[in-house]
Structure 1
Amino acid sequence: MFVFISCGICAMFPSCMSLLSRRGEQRAPRPGQAAVVLNVYDMYWTNWYTAGAGVGVFHSGVQVHGSEWAYGGHPYAFTGVFEITPRDERELGEQFRFRQSVHIGYTDFSEEEVRRLVTELGKQFRGDRYHLMNNNCNHFTSAFCLALCDRDIPAWVNRLAYVSSCVPFLQRCLPNGLSSVKE
């Protein structure tokens, strides 16, 4: 099996990620386990130019048991978590382009248990609590992957939000209303 791994510099520049085997780190699934896959999408055309330098605006969803789960904002006090067909960028909108899938691990959760977990996470990831830098789709996929298989998403997926949270000036550069828009 081939998965993305980091060569050291890759943590800063995801374009140098190589397709090498993670021997010893990845194990074969046990009977009854389901793969947990992170599907990553470019959100803006600028990513085609900037992602190679380690900066980009990405949307992500978690694929498990044949469904993909993601998070977006809306003005209402109920869940912003939604289900789509895996890797179907058309369901997300015209500004989204599928980039890649990253194998995260395997889960013992059944499909029913995954749905219950999504319901619980939806209480934290409400539509009216979405924030581009502090509570976005990538924060959701990180929490979901940790709950499913105790593994986090790659750091480069949410790097822009992390950097901007460390440099408050960058958040002030966002146009009014952009920080809480729906993805």
Structure 2
Amino acid sequence: MGDQTSTYTVKLYVYDLSKGLARQLSPMMLGKQLEGIWHTAVVIHGEEYFFGGQGISSCPPGGTLLGDPHFIVDLGNTEVNEDIFTAYLSSLGESTYRGDRYHLFEHNCNSFSNEVAQFLTGKKIPSYITDLPADVLSTPFGQALRPFIESVNITPPGNNMNDHYGQR
């Protein structure tokens, strides 16, 4: 086998923004059980990448104020090297995933993680994560809270990709 192709592991870091409160309060508040309010990030090439109100950002794995992930999903392997991935992220950061395009329900960290996961591995992230906004909005309480929730902008601190890679 003369194949010199390297593969890289791709992981999904999943954080519960509610720190367990969603699990405790959701049956009473929403009439259905939520396991958490999920924030996700993709970890590859020794960095954690995520999307928020500042656009695409990165940090060392587990390096946001959120601390350690609630759990980690192994998304498989990719042959996409760091240079190709950086170019891909740069193009996303200038278009689909600019900070001003962030929307808590329709275009968020989980949308970003899902798109990046598919680019890298051909697989989506778990549907219980991407379906969460629809699950919340399907409840009367979710509908009542929608105006407030839509004003929320979640931005864990990290290095903004456009600032970081724009320096090259």
Give the shorter-chain TM-score range.
0.7 to 0.9
CA offset at residue 167 of structure 1? 6.3
**3-state DSSP of counterpart to 2:113:** helix
Which residue of 1 is the match for residue 73 of structure 2?
102
Moved more, 167-176 or 138-147: 167-176
Return the alpha-carbon distance in structure 2 between the equivalents of residues 100 and 177 of structure 1. 24
Return the alpha-carbon distance in structure 2 between the equivalents of residues 168 and 83 of structure 1. 36
Q: Which has the higher contact order (CA 8 A, sep 6+)?
A: 2
Q: Which runs of 5+ in 2 are unaligned?
A: 27-32, 156-168
The answer on 1:150 being equivalent to 2:122 is yes
**3-state DSSP of counterpart to 1:83:** strand
Query: Is the 1:38–1:102 Cα contact (8 Å) retained in structure 2?
Result: yes
**3-state DSSP of counterpart to 1:125:** coil
Return the alpha-carbon distance in structure 2 between the equivalents of residues 137 and 148 of structure 1. 16
Return the alpha-carbon distance in structure 2 between the equivalents of residues 126 and 70 of structure 1. 12
The change in CA–CA distance for 1:49 and 1:176 in structure 2 (over 3 A counts) is closer
Which residue of 2 is the match for residue 83 of structure 1?
58
Query: Is the 2:14–2:38 Cα contact (8 Å) retained in structure 1?
Result: yes
The change in CA–CA distance for 1:114 and 1:86 in structure 2 (over 3 A counts) is same
Letter in 2 for 1:49: Q
* 1:1-52 Cα distance to aligned partner (Å, 9 max, x none): xxxxxxxxxxxxxxxxxxxxxxxxxxxxx9501011000011123145369x
Query: Is the 1:145–1:151 Cα contact (8 Å) retained in structure 2?
Result: yes
Which residue of 2 is the match for residue 37 of structure 1?
11
Letter in 2 for 1:32: S
Q: Which runs of 4+ in 1 moved over 6 A?
A: none
Q: Which runs of 5+ in 1 are unaligned?
A: 1-29, 75-79
Letter in 1 for 2:61: P
- TM-score w.r.t. length of structure 2: 0.73
Return the alpha-carbon distance in structure 1 between the equivalents of residues 140 and 68 of structure 2. 29
The change in CA–CA distance for 1:33 and 1:50 in structure 2 (over 3 A counts) is farther
- TM-score w.r.t. length of structure 1: 0.68
Which residue of 2 is the match for residue 135 of structure 1?
107
The change in CA–CA distance for 1:173 and 1:48 in structure 2 (over 3 A counts) is closer
Aligned length, in residue pairs: 145
Which residue of 2 is the match for residue 73 of structure 1?
53
Query: Is the 1:132–1:181 Cα contact (8 Å) retained in structure 2?
Result: yes
Query: Is the 1:73–1:180 Cα contact (8 Å) retained in structure 2?
Result: no
The answer on 1:121 being equivalent to 2:115 is no
